Amino acid sequence: MCGIVGYIGRGDVKDELLSGLKELEYRGYDSAGIALMEQNHVTSFKATGKLKNLEQKAKEYAQDGGIGIGHTRWATHGKPTELNAHPHYGTYSYVVHNGIIENYVELKKELEAQGVKFVSQTDTEVIVHLFEKNLEKLGTGDKAFEATIAALEGAYAVLLLSKDVPETVYFARFGSPLMLGRNGKQEIFFASSDAAILGKATEVAYLEENCIGKVENGTIITDFEKGCSDLEYKALRGDKVSAQKGGFRFFMEKEIYEQGDVLSDTLMGRVFENRVHIDELEDMDLEGISAITICACGTSYHAALSSSYLFEHVAKIKTDVVIASEFRYKEPILTPDTLFVVISQSGETADTLEALKMAKNAGLQTLAVCNVDNSSIVRLCDSTILTRAGIEKGVASTKAFATQMAVLWMCALFFARKNGVACDMDAELKALRHLPKVTAEALRHHEKIKRLSKRYLHGHGFFFIGRDLFYPLAMEGALKLKEISYLHAEGYPAGEMKHGPIALADSELFTVALMPKSQLYEKMKSNVEELSARDATILTIAPEILDNIADDFLVIDEHGHVMSEYFEMMVVLQLLSMEVAIRLGNDVDMPRNLAKSVTVE
Ligand code: F6R
């Protein structure tokens, strides 16, 4: 949610900022802006919409060497207008900010009482005016910045530069990610995600929570009262090429196609002849654990719900799942026999992070299933199993979900063995090892789905129905469709349709039925028949053609294992939502109103 970049060096400052922002654009694309400083002269550009608009605006400008800050925005306070775009400025200072300033209304009132005129509706603008007021009062940039940060409440990362403090950029991290990269060419980079500095910086320091500092004349200085303590640099691995589209129309499509490969990575070193081995779980003291609570949001929540069936069916361990944004207000009863698990692709989701903090404060053991190493969630959890999906750029999560499910399935098998629960471990492990193949082979449905999609564009709504762990998969199918096609869709338990929603059934109601052969197949058939009798338009995803009850069919393999069916259907649902959205002319990778990483509550 929003992306920040900064650059200090002798290179082309504008290009450095824009190329960094390009990598972060998927995090927010309502508007973007940059500010570039050369000695005590600052030039700034802002544009609404996608980054290309900003590139166009700044195309004549060139600056070799100096300092620059940039931002790509997902609107939280104020509409996506140019005035609300970052960098926000006062009389001589500029700021970019990611996160939320919770006490901005009070601060704004105080500043207005002192004669400050605000031009935007954002929370961010208070930072820059407060800095300038503090500079007038306190006389030095350092003191002014410290006092400014001390007055802010909320979760945020900030970069600030000022004509009155030449050759300097101030930085602060309080609850939103910020990192500092460097290379051997006397260049320093800031970014809210390392995707922006891959291929540029060779080392990265992930700033700790609640710290400030500055870069002055190319030197990083942190000896402030709340200065970031010794920065710990790590080699920055990963290459830019892996984050490019590689011939696919959209990142989402590429990421769907990558799932077989990333699943192989996820399983690597974790699945053995007769057991799964997960170092991160082996290292935890799980002796007193008799229950699991899982917290997550969105797609990760659907992985959580699906996995709760596995934990209960396979490992016989009581498992509750709570939407993270609801968790903390529910006054949950937390007992030490519960393992608290959070699932997050980004590792930065504010709701999930807050739920995690509550569980930690209550003394629970905490485990993250996460895709981004060094993210806030990873750093806070006692232990983390990385999902190894690689950078996911499509806003609609696909490969991250697949790898979360693989990890959670492995965890269920781990607990089954640990607790001595009888299950057909050989069959489970065989199915687990086949996962990459099943997922890759599921792509064979793509051509048929492309053709089918034209019949599913203009109804009055979609129901995705399933039973057991195919119910959360149905919810995930519905979420995928609505976020990129903007069509209304609901995931529903198939058996529950007759308790109300079936009233909506007519030929304009599209139903996608998930019908695995290995689970409650006959019951699903009855539920589909009930809808068919009311003339609903029905697409079945089943191991056979059911032409007496449905209109369209996607025939899946009879794998003999429920999870193989789950993964094949997962790919089918991802492709279906993508093809519908493409036919509707939508930007699949950057759907309206959304952002990849949701760092506000
Ligand atoms: C949907 C999607 C979102 C995220 C949710 C949680 O495709 O991507 O629903 O799943 O915002 O994000 P993470 O997993 O990063 O915590």
Give the separation between CA 515 and CA 526, rounded to whole angstroms.
11
Q: How far, rounded to the nearest angstrom, does the alpha carbon of residue 82 sit from its chain's CA centroid? A: 26
Give the distance (Å) from ligand 1 centre to CA of residue 300.
6
pLDDT band for position 240 (cuts 50, 70, 90): low
Instruction: Compute the Cα dihedral for 519, 557, 478, 1 and give only its sign.
Output: positive
Q: 251 or 261: which carries more pLDDT confidence?
A: 251
Percent of the chain with pLDDT over 90: 75
Is 596 among the catalytic positions? yes
Give the distance (Å) from ligand 1 centre to CA of residue 346.
8
pLDDT above 70 (res 431): yes
Give the distance (Å) from ligand 1 centre to CA of residue 515.
26
Residue 451 makes CB contacts below 8 A (sequence gap 6+) with none
CB atoms within 10 A of CB 11: 18
pLDDT band for position 19 (cuts 50, 70, 90): very high
pLDDT band for position 238 (cuts 50, 70, 90): low
Whole-number pLDDT of residue 373: 80
Which atom number of ligand 1 is nearest to the Cα of residue 301? 10
pLDDT above 60 (res 242): no
Which atom number of ligand 1 is nearest to the Cα of residue 596? 8
Segment among 25-34, 202-211, 418-427 with least mean pLDDT: 25-34
Segment among 161-165, 283-287, 289-293 with least mean pLDDT: 283-287
**Whole-number average pLDDT of the chain:** 92
Give the separation between CA 559 and CA 394, rounded to whole angstroms.
29
pLDDT band for position 369 (cuts 50, 70, 90): very high
Pocket test for ligand 1, best of 299, 326, 588 (most atoms within 8 A of CB): 299
Q: How far, rounded to the nearest angstrom, does the alpha carbon of residue 105 sit from its chain's CA centroid? A: 29
Tracing tokens 């996820």 back to the chain, one arrives at 266
Percent of the chain with pLDDT over 70: 98
Task: Return the half-sphere exposure (C-beta side, CA atoms, 13 A cut-off) of residue 510.
Answer: 23
Give the distance (Å) from ligand 1 centre to CA of residue 598.
8
Segment among 61-70, 220-229, 482-491, 537-546 with least mean pLDDT: 220-229
Q: Across the chain, which distance is largest between two alpha carbons, in Å?
A: 81
Instruction: Compute the Cα dihedral for 194, 200, 202, 204 and give only its sign.
Output: negative
pLDDT band for position 239 (cuts 50, 70, 90): low
3-state secondary structure of 261: helix
Residue 139 makes CB contacts below 8 A (sequence gap 6+) with none
Whole-number pLDDT of residue 268: 87
Give the separation between CA 405 and CA 16, rounded to whole angstroms.
37
pLDDT above 80 (res 82): yes
Determine the angle formed by the axes of helices 425-441 and 259-267, rounding to 10 degrees: 150
Q: Determine if ligand 1 sits within 6 Å of the CB of residue 396.
A: yes
Q: Atom 3 of ligand 1 has which residue's CA nearest to it? A: 298
pLDDT band for position 246 (cuts 50, 70, 90): low
Q: What is the dihedral of CA 527, 530, 532, 537, to 10 degrees?
A: -60
Whole-number pLDDT of residue 597: 72
Query: Burial of 143 by CB count in 10 Å (0-12 exposed, 13-18 middle, 19+ buried)?
Result: middle
Encoded tokens for 84: 């609300």
Q: Nearest 5°: phi and psi at 51?
A: -60, -30
pLDDT band for position 276 (cuts 50, 70, 90): very high
Whole-number pLDDT of residue 515: 96
Whole-number pLDDT of residue 320: 96
From the list 22, 200, 525, 596, the catalytic residue is 596
If you average pLDDT over residues 491-504, what whole number do you get? Answer: 90
Give the separation between CA 579 and CA 485, rounded to whole angstroms.
9
Q: What is the DSSP string of 535-581?
A: T-EEEEEESS--TTT-SEEEEPP--SSHHHHHHHHHHHHHHHHHHHH
The amino acid at residue 36 is: L
Q: Determine if ligand 1 sits within 6 Å of the CB of residue 352.
A: yes
Give the separation between CA 261 and CA 272, rounded to whole angstroms.
18
Q: Atom 4 of ligand 1 has which residue's CA nearest to it? A: 298
Whole-number pLDDT of residue 47: 96
CA distances from 355 to 50, 135, 316, 329, 573 (A): 33, 38, 25, 10, 30
From the list 2, 228, 295, 381, the catalytic residue is 2
Q: Determine if ligand 1 sits within 6 Å of the CB of residue 574.
A: no
Give the separation between CA 264 and CA 253, rounded to whole angstroms.
19
> Is the distance from CB of 255 to CB of 394 less than 8 angstroms?
yes
> Is the distance from CB of 31 to CB of 49 less than 8 angstroms?
yes
Give the distance (Å) from ligand 1 centre to CA of residue 299.
5
> Is the distance from CB of 395 to CB of 586 less than 8 angstroms?
no
If you average pLDDT over residues 493-514, what whole number do you get? Answer: 90
Q: Sheet of 211-216: strands edge to edge?
A: 88-89, 93-101, 154-162, 168-174, 211-216, 219-221
If you average pLDDT over residues 96-113, what whole number do you get? Answer: 93
CA distances from 165 to 66, 168, 170 (A): 13, 6, 10
Q: Determine if ligand 1 sits within 6 Å of the CB of residue 475.
A: no
pLDDT band for position 504 (cuts 50, 70, 90): confident
Q: Determine if ligand 1 sits within 6 Å of the CB of residue 300.
A: yes
Whole-number pLDDT of residue 498: 85
Give the separation between CA 400 and CA 390, rounded to whole angstroms.
8
If you average pLDDT over residues 194-215, what whole number do you get? Answer: 91
Is 370 among the catalytic positions? no
Determine the angle formed by the axes of helices 399-418 and 425-441, rounding to 10 degrees: 170
Give the separation between CA 140 and CA 224, rounded to whole angstroms.
13
Give the separation between CA 554 and CA 538, rounded to whole angstroms.
11
Q: Sheet of 41-48: strands edge to edge?
A: 41-48, 31-38, 64-73, 3-12, 188-191, 179-182, 203-206, 234-235
CA distances from 541 to 93, 214, 530, 562 (A): 58, 57, 17, 14
If you average pLDDT over residues 344-353, what whole number do you get? Answer: 94
pLDDT band for position 241 (cuts 50, 70, 90): low
Q: Nearest 5°: phi and psi at 165?
A: -130, 75
If you average pLDDT over residues 74-85, what whole number do you get? Answer: 83
Mind listing the domains of the chain with CATH numbers? 3-242 (3.60.20.10), 244-433 (3.40.50.10490), 443-601 (3.40.50.10490)
Segment among 125-134, 217-226, 244-253 with least mean pLDDT: 244-253
Give the separation between CA 594 and CA 371, rounded to whole angstroms.
19
Strand stretches in 265-315, DSSP E = 291-296
pLDDT above 70 (res 335): yes
Segment among 126-140, 234-248, 249-263 with least mean pLDDT: 234-248
Segment among 76-80, 117-121, 161-165, 360-364 with least mean pLDDT: 76-80
pLDDT band for position 205 (cuts 50, 70, 90): very high
Whole-number pLDDT of residue 375: 85
pLDDT band for position 519 (cuts 50, 70, 90): confident
Encoded tokens for 371: 């895709």
Whole-number pLDDT of residue 83: 93
**pTM reported for the whole predicted model:** 0.78
Q: Atom 9 of ligand 1 has which residue's CA nearest to it? A: 298
Whole-number pLDDT of residue 225: 87
The amino acid at residue 32 is: A
Whole-number pLDDT of residue 315: 95
Give the separation between CA 9 and CA 555, rounded to whole angstroms.
57
